[in-house]
Structure 1
Amino acid sequence: MTSATQVIPSPRKAVLRAEALARRDALDLDNRLEWDAEIAARALALPAWKDGPGPVSAYWPMRSEADPRPILEGLHERGLPLCLPAIVERRMIFRHWAPYEPIVPGGFGTLVPAPDQPEVRPAILLVPLAAFDRRGYRIGYGKGYYDRALSELGPTVSIGIGYAAQEIDAVPHEPHDRRLDWIVTERETLRCG
């Protein structure tokens, strides 16, 4: 990593990202909706929730990403506090959020909690994936926000959420890349970290 806010993109990762995103984009919408429900059932069965930790952060889905909102609704029903990430001054922060509370455009095509919501420190992060491997390494969108956030947060449970079609044999990883603890797809739950 060159600085606290810049990651030099890996040409190999860029190719793998483009291929994985094309596979994800080609998935049938009806299948994705069914798979999102299967992912939610698997994610809600994880032992990570056993002791009722919180807050839990997720992402607001964009494009063809696996949708974590059913997971968030299930966790909200269990009484766990929730938050969503926002990029502020080139850094990922987390703000309180609950289902049906307002969200606003946050850049990069995302939706985020309103700026007046309090900043919180999540104990668990649901992380989007462009591509992943079975060791728990992921390819995101190339800006390094999640890797930096996981480094800054310290001990945090990280759970990648995606479709099986996004799996690749091996993600090239660098020292700044953070391995996920779990990956949940519509087909299986992988314990990685």
Structure 2
Amino acid sequence: MDRHRGKGEGEIDKATLRRRALDARDGLSEETRIEKSMAIADHGAGQLTFEAGTIVAGFMPIRSEPDPRPLMASLAERGARLCLPVVLDSTTIVFRELIRGATLVPTGFGTLGPDADAAVVHPGLMLVPLAAFDRNGHRIGYGAGHYDRAIARQVAEGIHPRLVGIAFDLQEIDAVPTEPHDHPLDCVLTETGLRAFATDAFHDTR
């Protein structure tokens, strides 16, 4: 697999690394993305562990992202409660519960989510979209910092969600430049399976 260089290998910044990873992802055909998304769902169904009733944050795919909806449906069948992120303003997202038949409305960044009547919840497991990731579980998001702030708010309240990156293998890079506010992933789920990092308490899922 071709990998891009991170800090320490030419001092390439996050914006450049993000663009390269997204360009590679954008190069996948729609048919290939569908096939890889289904493989992600199959691996996640067999390898992600959680207790029944756990609130799982998914997301609605935009642009060339993996489609997590087949995985979300599988997790719901196993007893997960689902929720989706909703952008409240330029700095804040909350998670609203997703129930069968819920009304979905535009919720920022070209995606959809439950309307204001839905309950705001705190996920115990988060499926995290990303632009790039490295072998240590560091991720590059899309630049707005919404997920980092949402995770930080939960941690401040004593809630430590398990963070599962959702990506294609070609989004892996050698090294992500890190900052103090970054929250590393516990594991990443791609079309070739689930990889746990040092932060993940569920080491049997590797």
C-alpha offsets along residues 18-48 of structure 1, whole Å, 9 cap, x if unaligned? 1111000001211111111110111122343
Whole-Å separation in 2 of the counterparts to 1:105 and 1:54: 25
Tell me the amino acid that sits aligned with residue 175 of structure 2. Answer: A
| 8 Å Cα contact 1:161/1:183 also seen in 2 | yes
**TM-score with structure 2 setting the length:** 0.84
Query: 2:177 pairs with 165, 172, 177, which one?
Result: 172
Q: Which residue of 2 aligns with 1:5?
A: none
| 8 Å Cα contact 2:53/2:79 also seen in 1 | no
List gaps (5 residues or longer) in structure 1. Answer: 1-10
Q: Which residue of 2 aligns with 1:183?
A: 188
Whole-Å separation in 2 of the counterparts to 1:56 and 1:167: 24
Tell me the amino acid that sits aligned with residue 130 of structure 2. Answer: L
**TM-score with structure 1 setting the length:** 0.89
- How far the C-alpha of 1:99 sits from its partner, in A, is 4.9
Matches within 5 A, 1:91-130: 91-130=92-131
Matches within 5 A, 1:127-138: 127-138=128-139
Whole-Å separation in 2 of the counterparts to 1:99 and 1:61: 18
- How far the C-alpha of 1:140 sits from its partner, in A, is 0.8
Is 1:139 aligned with 2:144?
A: no
C-alpha offsets along residues 103-139 of structure 1, whole Å, 9 cap, x if unaligned? 1111221211111111011100000011110111111
Percent identity at matched positions?
A: 44
CA root-mean-square deviation: 1.6
Whole-Å separation in 1 of the counterparts to 2:195 and 2:136: 9
Tell me the amino acid that sits aligned with residue 168 of structure 1. Answer: I
| 8 Å Cα contact 1:76/1:99 also seen in 2 | no
